[in-house]
Structure 1
Amino acid sequence: METTVSPADLEGTKAEMAAAMADRDEQVKKIWMLSREYGELAGAGGVKDVVYQLAEALARWNGRSIHVVLPLYGFIDAGEHGFEPLPDPFCSGRNLRLQIEMSQPDLFVLEEVRYYYITINKVHLYFVDSERYRQKTDVYTYSEMDENRVPWQRKATGHHDYFAMNLLLQKAALELMIVLGEKPDVIHCHDGHTAILPALIRENAGYKSYFRETGCLVTIHNAGYGYHQEVFDLPYAVSITGLPQHVIDNNQLDQKFDPLLVAGQYAVVNTVSENYARELQETESDRLTGGLGHELLQRNVILEGVTNGIEPDLFTAAAIAGDDRSMLFYPGNSEDSLAGKKRCKESLLELLGQRSSFPGVRCFGSIEKNARNPLFTFIGRLSEQKGVDILMEVLEVLLARNPHVQVLVLGTGGSDIDAGLMQLAEADGVRGRMCFLQGYSPEMANRVFAAGDFFVVPSRYEPCGLTDFIAQLFGNIPVVHHVGGLVKVIDGVTGLAYPGDTPDDLLEALERALVVYGDAELKRKIQLQAVQEIERNYTWARVMRKYLDLYKKARSSQLCI
């Protein structure tokens, strides 16, 4: 039986939707976020993009008050970015300075912090300035500069005081909220670096009453080994956090106090894709996290999943074209022949041929200027988690079998993988067909995204993945291992996907890509469909609504305690 919808019914439905949105928004107006990364200010991975884009998306809608707190690292000049010292609201003519308790066993310790502030695109940003942060020349690890200065601070190893860095940020943010008289509806904590905060405001007497009506959401961007920010020294954990002994004792994973585990007791917890949440709690993939997902499940903590969004306007050829309009293109426009993309490819190959220098990037190997050849690209951290060891093995075979294939790798990581890529790029049989760009530069990354025909993501596990989105927006077809958040790539529709985790599986997928490259109509169809899928389901305007639901859940659950 055919049904019809009357204008009155339609108006009623619209009214109900508007009322539902209003109800959701009414409960969540004041949102504070804590993160170790944010946009171009400080970044080491995809967290910087998620926090920045989500904050700005939230700030654009319905008059919300969005605040983000992050450390002022030694590589950041606050003044150059327009930040100003935050005035003390109680002492006219003086900038705000606070003493934060950071005690150790049998030793009472106070650390002084100051704050810098700016509003950008309606987002209120705060830097926490301390001697501890000023000593750091990278976000999470020691840099080459550090190693040259202090030999034991080996490049790419984590900061020895990581736990104190994290606690200082969380305590300094809470003290800032109190001084400013801010009582957030929700505090959104990003990753293990800020995941102890929910326990602090529920268990520490100094915060308990003030934040009585504040809910907490903890987003796990990566639950793998090395990302939990756990600590083995339990007496130290008790002293520096100020948490009761029983909280430390009851939230250990592998005999270490685990911030992500304790978060489940005091906050709503989500991961950055629905499938990653499922993998952590329903599959053997959780072994890669030390069993975090299953331990949370045993405690009746169900991980929520929200696949990250992306802001398409931030990833266009305009970022690299400058005054050269011939480089402009948009894969989501069916009328665009992508001549601009070809021009971007020619431009990058020309720059590489001239050995042009880019800040933060060293070039090994070479690529001939032949834009007709298929160009495979990779951008990311050079680690086993990202599957780069498998990629190296496969590239050697792919290049040997296909003399017309070109390869471009941009990234840095462990010295062994870096050395292997240098050796491969400069091998006799590969010369002229592969470049390894060691390091990272945002401009170079955009150029590689725009120039590439295929973007390889061979990760062993991937909580969400943003580079596949970015590649699609540049018409660079992703070839992904179908795990975690990478399942959003639809095989043969918005990219190419392979289920296995062996070199043979990846090689087969790359050879399928060569077949697609030879079919111009199919290639263009995949490029178009990929952008349409993003615009339909993955813009931040859409994904933001899912976070609003989690914020509402976090606040409601707190009010019901």
Structure 2
Amino acid sequence: MLSREYGELAGAGGVKDVVSQLAEALARWNGRSIHVVVPLYGFIDAKALGFQPLPDPFCRGRDLRLPIEMNEPDRFVLEEVGYYYRVLNKVHLYLVDAERYSEKTDVYTYSEEDESKSPWQKKAMGHHDFFAMNLLLQKAALELMIVLGEKTDVIHCHDGHTAVLPGIIREHAGYRSYFRQTGCLVTIHNAGLGYHQEVIDIPYAVSITALPPHVVDANQLARKFDPFLVAGQYAVVNTVSENYARELQETENDRLTGGLGHELLRRKVILEGITNGIEPDLFKVTAIAGEDSSMLFDPGDERDDLAGKKRCKEKLLAQLEQRNVVSAIKCFGRLDQDVTKPLFTFIGRLSEQKGVDILMEVFEVLLARNAQVQLLVLGTGGSEIDERLINLTGRLRGRMCFLQGYSTELANKVFAAGDFFVVPSRYEPCGLTDFIAQLFGNIPIVHHVGGLVKVVDGVTGLAYRGDSPDDLLQSLERALVVYNSPDLRRKIQLQAVQEIKRNYTWPTVMRKYLELYKKARKKQLCRQGIDGRR
């Protein structure tokens, strides 16, 4: 597997969880040899995390260092990379050590620290060398496989960051023979505009990818070289929910991708859909309760009255009042300490895609109508949305709190304390936060798009179909009815956890990926004229 994100090592969203949990599921329950390659960013302390430099198999006493071709239109360029390695939960992890990665303080964008050092590197702006970062990872992974003698059955490429690889191993003479029996699967975690990892400089794309010019020319969308189109030509392609795959190729929602889904369909590429799984054991309140047993609860146990959840709410409200949260998190506004008041929560990237602008508009109306409602937001985005949220906390004094930044530990505390979890995304390929909320007894209120259709309205959460503020407002008001109906609220909480354990744990989802791996390998073997029934 190749990914720009992985578990606790590096992440900016749900991709980190999907990649790590799928890899561990395959290694644990299927007995496969799973290798994952990730960049060694500047914020990762490899040795402190148990990684060691990978030794050179051909030179005793020396660490492996490899030159990688990263040519530009007017010059030949070599970048040297090294590798750090460890086995974690039966998964073989490799970190690519390169100057291009070590200078980065965030996965995809410049950070506040970067902006303070170089004003042109604006916080939340994408890295200027994103395409080179992506290509270096792909080429470094291929060279590593060759040096180690790994002739893998399938290479699983996650998102546009690694989607050029299937084309490279089919078209590049240096890789074609070695990987002739290797299939490729590309998973599109997000096909939205800004997520394709496309490049407008076509001569640069030809030089750095080393793909034939006709391949680069043939795989352009809106006059930009698009890695997802390359994936469609050389690999099996899937998205992270069945409904998102359908939306991309059968509905007008594909306009949000720049027409990618319909272009793939025109090329006779049918997107597969597999809804992401989740590992329930990773989202238990024991991790945040510490030695305070009064905070323990299990929303999936019908005998549990969730007194522990009430205690989690009490404790978080007290911490917010005292400004006793994670040091890197800035706290704006405050909340009433009354635990009987319904607490609506939001955790995620603060962007228009996530519907944060609609959320702000609607909550001003809801709070004006109902004096009991409170809102807690955790996340960060561009400075404009952050500033709007800060201003909103001033207007809704005592009823809204904005936690600027992100911390997994704090996120789990918010999940555990919240009564309702709002997901007003304009589009959502899959969504994992609704799952996590359910595992903490926090009832999701979702916009029924993409993968969020897995939330069954009135059964495992609340859902609305329209895209207007009024549609969201009506669902929030329905939530207040549920809140004041304890038996119904408890029933929804219980059914939500039961549904996850029945259909969305990784042992179940993993089997669907195994079928796609077989399909990817068979596709390549058939190209080679080899019997692909294995």
Q: TM-score, normalised by structure 1?
A: 0.94
C-alpha deviation, 1:467, in angstroms: 0.1
Q: Is the 2:325–2:410 contact (alpha carbons within 8 Å) kept by the matching residues of 1?
A: no
C-alpha deviation, 1:63, in angstroms: 2.2
Residue identity matched to 2:348: G
- Which of residues 445, 448, 455 is equivalent to 1:479? 445
Corresponding position of 1:20: none
- For 1:399 and 1:421, locate their aligned partners in 2 and report how far apart those are by CA, in whole Å: 15
- Any residues of structure 2 matched to 1:277-288 within 5 Å, and which? 277-288=245-256
C-alpha deviation, 1:390, in angstroms: 0.3
Q: Is the 2:278–2:504 contact (alpha carbons within 8 Å) kept by the matching residues of 1?
A: yes
2:504 matched to 1:538?
yes
C-alpha deviation, 1:225, in angstroms: 0.5
2:147 matched to 1:179?
yes
Moved over 2 A (4+): none
Q: Deviations over 1:296-321 (max 9, x none)?
A: 00000000000000000000101100
2:347 matched to 1:390?
no
C-alpha deviation, 1:357, in angstroms: 3.4
- For 2:295 and 2:470, locate their aligned partners in 1 and report how far apart those are by CA, in whole Å: 36
C-alpha deviation, 1:292, in angstroms: 0.2
C-alpha deviation, 1:61, in angstroms: 2.1
- Which of residues 480, 486, 503 is equivalent to 2:469? 503
Corresponding position of 2:24: 56
- For 1:63 and 1:290, locate their aligned partners in 2 and report how far apart those are by CA, in whole Å: 40
Corresponding position of 2:532: none
Where 1:478 maps in the other structure, the secondary structure is: strand
Residue identity matched to 1:461: Y
2:429 matched to 1:463?
yes
Q: Is the 1:359–1:441 contact (alpha carbons within 8 Å) kept by the matching residues of 2?
A: no
Corresponding position of 2:530: none
Corresponding position of 1:528: 494
2:163 matched to 1:190?
no
2:2 matched to 1:37?
no
Corresponding position of 1:376: 344
Residue identity matched to 1:492: G
Corresponding position of 2:522: 556
Q: Is the 1:271–1:277 contact (alpha carbons within 8 Å) kept by the matching residues of 2?
A: yes
Corresponding position of 2:33: 65
Q: Deviations over 1:229-253 (max 9, x none)?
A: 0000000000000000000000000
Q: Structure 1 stretch 57-66 or stretch 38-47: which is displaced more?
A: 57-66
Residue identity matched to 2:418: G
Corresponding position of 1:47: 15
Corresponding position of 2:310: 342
Corresponding position of 2:408: 442
- For 2:23 and 2:104, locate their aligned partners in 1 and report how far apart those are by CA, in whole Å: 25
- Any residues of structure 2 matched to 1:122-271 within 5 Å, and which? 122-271=90-239
Q: TM-score, normalised by structure 2?
A: 0.98
C-alpha deviation, 1:458, in angstroms: 0.1
2:76 matched to 1:108?
yes
Residue identity matched to 2:237: V
Over aligned residues, Cα RMSD in angstroms? 0.5
- For 1:227 and 1:174, locate their aligned partners in 2 and report how far apart those are by CA, in whole Å: 23
- Which of residues 403, 428, 433 is equivalent to 2:371? 403
Corresponding position of 1:352: 320
- Any residues of structure 2 matched to 1:412-451 within 5 Å, and which? 412-427=380-395, 430-451=396-417
Corresponding position of 1:27: none
Corresponding position of 1:99: 67
Q: Deviations over 1:50-107 (max 9, x none)?
A: 0010000000024210000000001111011100000000000000000000000120
Where 1:34 maps in the other structure, the secondary structure is: coil
Structure 2 residue runs of 5 or longer lacking an equivalent are 528-534
Structure 1 residue runs of 5 or longer lacking an equivalent are 1-32
Where 1:207 maps in the other structure, the secondary structure is: helix
C-alpha deviation, 1:123, in angstroms: 0.2
- For 1:257 and 1:62, locate their aligned partners in 2 and report how far apart those are by CA, in whole Å: 37
Identity of aligned residues (%): 79
- For 1:96 and 1:223, locate their aligned partners in 2 and report how far apart those are by CA, in whole Å: 36
C-alpha deviation, 1:355, in angstroms: 1.1
Where 2:256 maps in the other structure, the secondary structure is: helix
Q: Is the 1:191–1:222 contact (alpha carbons within 8 Å) kept by the matching residues of 2?
A: yes
Aligned pairs, number: 527
Corresponding position of 1:12: none
C-alpha deviation, 1:368, in angstroms: 1.6
- For 1:532 and 1:63, locate their aligned partners in 2 and report how far apart those are by CA, in whole Å: 27
- For 2:291 and 2:91, locate their aligned partners in 1 and report how far apart those are by CA, in whole Å: 30
Where 1:229 maps in the other structure, the secondary structure is: coil
